[in-house]
């Protein structure tokens, strides 16, 4: 068990974060979705002494909750409470971890919810999330990363209480646990929590090696069909580096320049949205990114042992989809061939030096970032950047881009309306020109550039294009 502590008297709140190195990667074959159900049942399955309803009743006046978030490689159990309620709250979250009830009634409900999250959620009502999961299915075909954390419909159907109990006792163990505490911690509190956690099994099942995903040359395209007035696009390729590697940090800077999440800084945002009005936003990532609520920042504690490079093109008009893919690939090729100018490098470095400090404004987020640092064997990302950015050079960044980004090995996922999907694929594979017209005035230099974008070569092989109905995914 590792421990990360951030005591502070500046806040009347205490934050708990219990990070287990266990996630949907650990789902047994045929039981896809087990980690997610186990996490959900910890959160909503009651404790030996309290049913879930009684647990809710106890938490209600504190306005506190016990949250569980399951990702591919980690599960985080967390909560924040006012010090007025610390003793009572701690007793509850402790019992959730140490003596879960795993109530069969709640299990049936949560298993149903989990199935619905795929059948009537992911497949039906969030095209952008569907695009991202479809991309993951291409990047990690045959690997546990290649399916949603919720699992598959058949896997979920096979889950039993015994599966959950076995998973919990073999994965939520001391050797897989990082304990994080922040805020107004009373004297002796940390020792008490650490002592209590010794009731967890000491060692669990040894964790399988991750197995770095292959990266075939060329383009793989998956078109997922469902009714859609605009088409969501995600593309990318696996990476061989994470925050554990020195090369990650120059690549992180390069990505900020190319597609910083929900800012107007990035090349993609400028080219697709600002200059052309093709959609609402365009960003890129060099690791798994989950937006924290309505903020622009990344949710901590979704760490992974393998990461990927990805581009997120928010829904575009169907007539613009081919063009938007071309424009993104063209800009990516330029990033690799030209790299950042010295000026762009310095601007981006200055930006990240300050911007990264905003990622840890609350004690809970500061703690989450510090715990991710422990996951990757280093400091928090904010501290790593503070240490590394001053000495970083433009050459470091450009060399890292060339070493790790390959614009000729991309997987492309498109969520498209059934009407038009086949024709779209035919045009993609034929490398047909994709000129666009605008309903609005456009700058002459942009129109000039459009002529080249419309014929930007994409060597897409029809045999590597697949069209599937959303209703058949993750079955």
Partner 1 sequence: MKGQAPPPATFPYPIVETVLDNGLLVVAVPMDSPGIAAHYVAVRTGSRNEVEPGLSGFAHFFEHMMFRGTPRFPPDRYNDVLKRLGADGNAFTTDDWTCYHIVAASDQLSTVMDLEADRFMNLSYGVEAFQKEAAAVLGEYNKNASVPFNALFEKLHDTAFTAHTYKHTTMGFLKDIEDMPNQYHHSLAFFARWYRADNAILVVAGDVRPEEVFALARRHYGAWRPGVAPFSTPVEPAQREEKSAHLSWPAPTLPLLAIAFHAPAFDAGGIEGHALDVLASACFAPTSPLHKELVLDRQWADWLAAGAEDRRDPGFFLVLARVKDAARVGDVRQAIERTLEQVAKEPLAPARLEQVRSRLRYGFLSGLLTPDQVAATVCHYAQLTGETASIERSFATLAKVGAGDVAAASARVFRPENRTVVTLAPASEGDAN
Under rule CB under 8 A, which residues in 300-319 are in contact with partner 1?
314-317
Does the footprint of partner 1 cover residue 77 (CB under 8 A)?
A: no
Interaction between residue 215 and partner 1 (CB under 8 A):
no
The answer to whether residue 87 forms part of the interface with partner 1 (CB under 8 A) is no
Q: Is 475 in the site for partner 1 (CB under 8 A)?
A: no
Q: Which residue from 265, 301, 400, 434 is in contact with partner 1, where contact means CB under 8 A?
A: 265
Helical segments of 244-298, H only: 248-259, 267-268
Is there binding between residue 47 and partner 1 (CB under 8 A)? no
Q: Is 290 in the site for partner 1 (CB under 8 A)?
A: no
Beta strands in 132-259 (DSSP E): 177-183, 220-225, 231-238
Residue whose tokens read 């546990």: 144
How many chain residues are in contact with partner 1, going by CB under 8 A?
82
Q: Residue 180 is inside which H or E element, if any? A: strand 177-183
Give me the least distance between CB of 6 and partner 1, in Å please: 13
CB 37 within 8 A of CB 113: no
DSSP for residue 119: I
Give the contacts of 390 (CB within 8 A, at least 6 positions apart).
none
Interface with partner 1 includes 127 (CB under 8 A)?
yes
Give the one residue of 5, 48, 49, 53 binding partner 1; rule: CB under 8 A. Answer: 53
Per-residue contact string for residues 223-242; x = within reach of partner 1 by CB under 8 A:
---xxxxx-x----------
Q: Which stretch binds partner 1 (CB under 8 A): 18-26, 69-77, 210-218, 432-440?
A: 432-440
d(CA 36, CA 205): 18
By C-alpha distance, which of 374, 378, 381, 291 is closest to 17?
Answer: 374
Figure out which of the listed residues 2, 82, 207, 388 binds partner 1, where binding follows CB under 8 A. Answer: 82
Residue entry with tokens 């088409």: 231
Among 87, 120, 240, 472, indicate the residue that binds partner 1 (CB under 8 A): 120
d(CA 22, CA 170): 10
Nearer to partner 1, 276 or 326 (CB): 276
Q: Which stretch binds partner 1 (CB under 8 A): 112-120, 245-253, 298-306, 461-469?
A: 112-120
Q: Which of 52, 167, 172, 375 binds partner 1 (CB under 8 A)?
A: 52
Does residue number 292 form part of the binding site for partner 1 (CB under 8 A)? no
Residues 341-360, interacting with partner 1 (CB under 8 A) = 347-348, 350-358
Q: What is the strand order of the sheet 2-7 is part of?
A: 2-7, 177-183, 13-20, 75-82, 67-70
Specify the residue, 239 or 325, whose C-beta has the smaller distance to partner 1. Answer: 325
Nearest to 449 by CA among 344, 341, 331: 331
Asked whether the beta carbons of 20 and 174 are under 8 A apart, the reply is no
> Under DSSP, is residue 85 helix (H, G, I), strand (E, B) or coil?
helix
x/- track of binding to partner 1 for residues 434-453 (CB under 8 A): ----xxxxxx----------
Eight-class DSSP state of 100: B
């Amino acid at each position: 068990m590792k421990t990360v502590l951030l005591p502070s008297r500046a806040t009347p709140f205490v934050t708990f974060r219990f990070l287990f190195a266990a996630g949907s990667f650990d789902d047994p074959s045929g039981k896809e979705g087990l980690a997610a159900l186990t996490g959900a049942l910890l959160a909503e399955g009651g404790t030996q002494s309290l049913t879930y309803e009684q647990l809710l009743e106890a938490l209600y006046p504190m306005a506190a909750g016990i949250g569980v978030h399951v990702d591919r490689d980690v599960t985080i159990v967390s909560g924040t409470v006012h010090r007025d309620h610390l003793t009572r709250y701690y007793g509850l979250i402790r019992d959730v971890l140490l003596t879960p009830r795993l109530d069969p009634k709640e299990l049936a409900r949560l298993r149903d919810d989990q199935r619905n999250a795929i059948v009537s959620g992911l497949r039906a009502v969030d095209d952008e999330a569907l695009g991202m999961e479809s991309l993951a299915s291409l990047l990690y075909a045959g690997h546990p990363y290649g399916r949603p954390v919720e699992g598959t419909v058949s896997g979920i159907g096979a889950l039993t209480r015994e599966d959950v109990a076995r998973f919990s006792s073999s994965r939520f163990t001391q050797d897989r646990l990082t304990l994080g505490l922040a805020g107004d911690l009373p004297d002796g509190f940390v020792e008490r929590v650490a002592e209590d956690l010794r009731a967890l099994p000491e060692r669990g099942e040894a964790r399988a090696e991750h197995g770095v995903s292959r990266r075939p040359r060329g383009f793989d395209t998956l078109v997922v069909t469902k009714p859609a007035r605009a088409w969501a696009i995600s593309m990318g390729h696996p990476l061989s580096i994470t925050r554990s590697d020195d090369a990650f940090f120059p690549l992180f800077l390069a990505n900020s320049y190319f597609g910083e999440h929900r800012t107007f800084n990035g090349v993609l945002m400028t080219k697709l949205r600002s200059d052309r009005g093709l959609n609402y936003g365009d960003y890129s990532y060099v690791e798994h990114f989950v937006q924290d609520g309505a903020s622009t920042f990344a949710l901590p504690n979704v760490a992974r042992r393998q990461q990927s490079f990805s581009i997120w093109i928010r829904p575009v008009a169907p007539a613009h989809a081919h063009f938007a893919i071309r424009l993104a690939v063209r800009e990516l090729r330029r990033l690799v061939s030209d790299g950042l100018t010295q000026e762009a490098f310095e601007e981006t470095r200055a930006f990240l030096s300050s911007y990264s400090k905003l990622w840890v404004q609350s004690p809970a987020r500061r703690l989450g970032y510090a715990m991710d640092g422990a996951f990757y064997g280093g400091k928090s990302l904010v501290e790593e950047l503070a240490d590394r950015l001053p000495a970083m050079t433009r050459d470091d960044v450009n060399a890292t881009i060339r070493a790790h980004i390959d614009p000729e090995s991309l997987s492309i996922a498109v969520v498209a309306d059934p009407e038009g999907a086949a024709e779209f694929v035919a045009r993609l594979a034929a490398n047909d020109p994709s000129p666009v017209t605008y309903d609005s005035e456009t700058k002459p230099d942009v129109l000039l550039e459009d002529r080249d974008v419309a014929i930007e070569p994409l060597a897409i092989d029809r045999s590597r294009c697949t069209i599937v109905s959303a209703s058949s995914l993750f079955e």
